Amino acid sequence: MRNAQISNARSAGPDALRTREILTARARALARPYRRPPAADQAIEVVDFRLAQESFGIEQTFVREVQPLRELTPLPCTPPFIRGIINVRGEILPVLDMKIFFELPGAGIADLHMVIIVHAGDVELGILADVVTGTRSVPLNTLQPCPPTLAGARMKYLKGVTNEGMVILDVARILSDADITVNEEVPS
């Protein structure tokens, strides 16, 4: 763009050769793939949180609220990633522990102080976090695919990783995944 403007300013000259040169330059400038400018609509707002020393992000559009974890009731006969249930304004929501998905160390509950209430479609649940650091804007073009070592089988739950190493969770994917659904009959 800048090149184009400069060439524009110079284009007042009468020289035909010069004109062609300018036009070529302009064409080149315009032909450049439109990728650079980090316009506002190309960034996502994420809630930034820590889990076992790792930095994670959840897109704000999926976040209903963030609250300190006060009381967590463990729920028997459910898979380990369901750490329990909480009461959020009269509704009982399950709480997921991402550490179990990503095989992160420290399965204890001691560090988990916060719960992020997320929703997508008709699913609403809590995701445990050690610390919630705040929100920030992440330009989409800084997102890179995750190194496969990080997530293992749960690769599909990740949207990407930022330059600073923040892992963005694909909440829509997680919440719609049949793997997190608990639907078990008692074997008789």
Find where tokens 């959020």 sit: 88
41 counts as binding other proteins under rule CB under 8 A: no
124 counts as binding other proteins under rule CB under 8 A: yes
Are the CB atoms for 105 and 52 separated by under 8 Å? yes
Region binding other proteins by CB under 8 A among candidate stretches 6-14, 51-59, 120-128, 140-148: 120-128
188 counts as binding other proteins under rule CB under 8 A: yes
Distance CA 115, CA 101 (A): 16
Cβ distance to other proteins smaller for residue 45 or 179? 179
**Of 14, 90, 105, 108, which one interacts with other proteins (CB under 8 A)?**
90
39 counts as binding other proteins under rule CB under 8 A: no
- 52-81 residues in contact with other proteins (CB under 8 A) are 71, 73-78
Smallest gap from Cβ 96 to other proteins, in A, equals: 9
Distance CA 18, CA 64 (A): 59
Starting at the edge strand found earlier in the chain, the sheet holding 167-169 runs 131-139, 43-51, 54-59, 167-169, 158-161
180 counts as binding other proteins under rule CB under 8 A: yes
Cβ distance to other proteins smaller for residue 29 or 75? 75
Are the CB atoms for 137 and 45 separated by under 8 Å? yes
116 counts as binding other proteins under rule CB under 8 A: no
Which residues neighbour 150 within 8 Å (Cβ) at sequence distance 6 or greater?
102, 158, 161, 167
**What is the CA angle 34-38-40, rounded to 5?**
120
Contacting positions for other proteins (CB under 8 A): 71, 73-78, 82, 85-87, 89-94, 122-125, 175, 180-188
